[in-house]
């Protein structure tokens, strides 16, 4: 419902010129950098009208919280996990904070959730490997009175307590609209997504295609690039060979975007407008090449790594007996060629995601830099 409201609101806007696109973008996203100070407090979070009553979950005394992480091994998940652990350490009422890792395996994650239930946790936070596969396990846990908070990727149905995350379809739409504006009247684009078959990319790309409707922009190809720079670079090198003209690259993640731009550099082709998220590697690449590449522009929407903190806070509110919204849609940070200098972190590794509640010191410690 909320998503529809936002989408309809912005589909009325015409944003063909780059600057106009940035304004439209900004209204959707958090327009100014708020990465200093209270990142989460300053963020814009749209709550659904539906509320979940906290009275039935109220619990006095120590609580046990479980977190079923679908997999670990990329830096986004690392920051996300670090943030939620820090947050948990700030709440003395949490007696146990149990983290289990699904290792990218759908069956293992279902088993993990069942194990958390048998360990008598009061709440389960979860980033699903599959929105449909974990739904029955979360439903069973919810029926047993356990608070279930999926976040980052939606879970099918409504048999969970509360959800928070960005809106991938709307993000994809806004990125598509920005790219359309950055390219101008007509042009040809290629698109790179994440892991094959993942629901985030599917939703984002559906949104992007909607944004391209009625334009003279030709979509040459959509390819999976695994959110890995090397895979994206290889795919892009093939696409460059096949298509002499590529005017823009749509990506839902900036590892793909950085790989694609590196392929263009190797092929000695001009860099073009590209979309993505808040991956530091692309920001550093932009900083390095923007001056020499007049057509190179970036239009990025962040995926906050502190979604886990919101999930934990939501669970704790319920355990205190407070009501919480059923859905919380987090508005991403907008990063463009105009404001990227406020975000780029040259002193930190490429893998850092910028939209984080971690301080500079914490990030340096985490990334040993």
Partner 1 sequence: MVQRVGAVWLAVIALYGVSGLISPGMLQLSQAINILQISAFLGIVATGQTLALLVGGIDLSVAGVVTMSNIVSTSVMAGLPQNLWIGVFMSLSLAGMVGVINGVLVTMFRISPLVATLGMNSILFGSALVYTQGAPHGAISPGFDLLGRGHISGLPLSTISWLIIAIAMIWVTRQTVFGRYLYAIGANSTAAYLNGIPIRFTKICAYALSSILAAFCGLLLTSYIGSPSLGIGEQFLLTSVAAAVVGGTSLNGGLGSISGTVGGTIFVTELNSFTNIVRVSSGTQFILQGAVIALSVLLYRSVSTVRHNHSFP
- Other beta carbons within 10 angstroms of residue 105's beta carbon come to 14
Tokens of 269: 């082709």
Handedness of CA 229, 231, 234, 240 (dihedral sign): negative
State the Cα–Cα distance between residues 341 and 334, nearest whole angstrom. 12
- Of 96, 224, 293, 322, the one binding partner 1 (CB under 8 A) is 224
Instruction: Choose the stretch contacting partner 1; rule: CB under 8 A; options: 86-94, 129-137, 260-268, 287-295.
Output: 260-268
In DSSP terms, 165 is beta-bridged to: 329
With binding defined as CB under 8 A, does residue 262 bind partner 1? yes
With binding defined as CB under 8 A, does residue 238 bind partner 1? yes
Q: Cβ of residue 73: shortest distance to partner 1, in angstroms?
A: 5
Residue (124 or 190) nearer to partner 1, CB: 190
Q: Cβ of residue 345: shortest distance to partner 1, in angstroms?
A: 12
DSSP symbol at 151: B
Tokens of 365: 């410690």
Q: Are 148 and 124 in contact (CB under 8 A)?
A: yes
Q: Cβ of residue 199: shortest distance to partner 1, in angstroms?
A: 14
Find, among 84, 80, 87, 132, the residue nearest to 303 by Cα. 80
Q: Cα dist. 232→140, 166, 227, 228, 336 in Å?
A: 39, 24, 7, 6, 21
Q: Cβ of residue 250: shortest distance to partner 1, in angstroms?
A: 15
With binding defined as CB under 8 A, does residue 233 bind partner 1? yes
With binding defined as CB under 8 A, does residue 197 bind partner 1? yes
Q: Cβ of residue 367: shortest distance to partner 1, in angstroms?
A: 5
State the Cα–Cα distance between residues 318 and 158, nearest whole angstrom. 17
With binding defined as CB under 8 A, does residue 237 bind partner 1? yes
Find, among 207, 123, 222, the residue nearest to 172 by Cα. 207
With binding defined as CB under 8 A, does residue 176 bind partner 1? no
Q: Cβ of residue 152: shortest distance to partner 1, in angstroms?
A: 16
Q: Number of C-alpha atoms within 13 angstroms, CB side, residue 232?
A: 27
> Under rule CB under 8 A, how many of the chain's residues touch partner 1?
44
With binding defined as CB under 8 A, does residue 369 bind partner 1? yes
State the Cα–Cα distance between residues 141 and 160, nearest whole angstrom. 8
With binding defined as CB under 8 A, does residue 287 bind partner 1? no
State the Cα–Cα distance between residues 218 and 186, nearest whole angstrom. 8
With binding defined as CB under 8 A, does residue 367 bind partner 1? yes
Tokens of 292: 């020499």
With binding defined as CB under 8 A, does residue 230 bind partner 1? yes
With binding defined as CB under 8 A, does residue 241 bind partner 1? yes
Residue (11 or 288) nearer to partner 1, CB: 288
Considering only residues 302 to 361 of the shown chain, the ones binding partner 1 according to CB under 8 A are 349-352
Q: Cβ of residue 315: shortest distance to partner 1, in angstroms?
A: 23
- Of 22, 39, 84, 235, the one binding partner 1 (CB under 8 A) is 235
- Of 33, 35, 66, 79, the one binding partner 1 (CB under 8 A) is 79
Tokens of 167: 């809106």
Helix, strand, or coil (residue 344): coil
Q: Are 164 and 149 in contact (CB under 8 A)?
A: yes
Q: Are 261 and 281 in contact (CB under 8 A)?
A: no
Q: Cβ of residue 38: shortest distance to partner 1, in angstroms?
A: 23
In DSSP terms, 334 is beta-bridged to: 301
- Of 16, 140, 243, 326, the one binding partner 1 (CB under 8 A) is 243
- Of 77, 171, 188, 327, the one binding partner 1 (CB under 8 A) is 77
With binding defined as CB under 8 A, does residue 75 bind partner 1? yes
Residue (252 or 350) nearer to partner 1, CB: 350
Q: Are 245 and 229 in contact (CB under 8 A)?
A: no
Site residues, partner 1 (CB under 8 A) = 72-75, 77-79, 81, 193, 196-197, 220-224, 226, 228-231, 233-235, 237-239, 241-243, 255, 259, 262, 266-267, 281, 349-352, 366-369
């Amino acid at each position: 419902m909320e998503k529809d409201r936002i989408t309809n609101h912005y589909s009325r806007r015409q944003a063909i010129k780059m600057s106009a696109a940035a304004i439209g973008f900004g209204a959707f996203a958090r327009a100014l950098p708020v990465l200093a100070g209270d990142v989460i407090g300053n963020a814009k979070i749209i709550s659904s009208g539906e509320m979940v009553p906290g009275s039935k979950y109220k619990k006095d005394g120590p609580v046990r919280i479980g977190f079923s992480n679908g997999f670990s091994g990329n830096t986004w998940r690392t920051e996300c996990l670090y943030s939620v652990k820090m947050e948990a350490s700030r709440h003395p009422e949490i007696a146990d904070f149990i983290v289990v890792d699904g290792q990218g395996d759908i069956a293992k994650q279902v088993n993990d959730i069942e194990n958390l239930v048998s360990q008598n946790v009061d709440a389960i936070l979860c980033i699903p490997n599959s929105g449909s596969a974990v739904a029955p396990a979360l439903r069973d846990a919810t029926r047993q009175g356990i608070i279930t908070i999926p976040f980052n990727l939606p879970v099918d149905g409504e048999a969970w307590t509360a959800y928070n995350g960005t809106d991938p379809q709307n993000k994809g739409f806004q990125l598509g609209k920005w790219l359309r504006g950055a390219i101008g009247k007509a042009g040809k684009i290629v698109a790179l997504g994440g892991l094959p078959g993942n629901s985030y990319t599917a939703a984002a790309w559906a949104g992007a295609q909607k944004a391209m409707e009625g334009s003279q922009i030709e979509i040459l190809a959509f390819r999976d690039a695994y959110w890995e720079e090397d895979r994206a670079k290889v795919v892009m090198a093939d696409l460059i060979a096949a298509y002499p003209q590529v005017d823009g690259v749509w990506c839902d993640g900036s590892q793909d975007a950085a790989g694609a731009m590196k392929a263009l550099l190797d092929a000695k082709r001009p860099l073009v407008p590209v979309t993505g998220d808040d991956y530091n590697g692309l920001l550093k690449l932009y900083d390095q090449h923007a001056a020499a590449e007049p057509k190179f522009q970036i239009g990025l929407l962040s995926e906050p790594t502190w979604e886990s903190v919101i999930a934990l806070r939501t669970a704790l509110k319920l355990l205190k007996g407070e009501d919480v919204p059923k859905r919380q849609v987090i508005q991403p940070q907008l990063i463009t060629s105009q404001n990227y200098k406020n975000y780029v972190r040259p002193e930190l590794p490429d893998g850092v995601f910028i939209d984080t509640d971690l301080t500079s010191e914490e990030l340096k410690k985490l990334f040993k830099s």
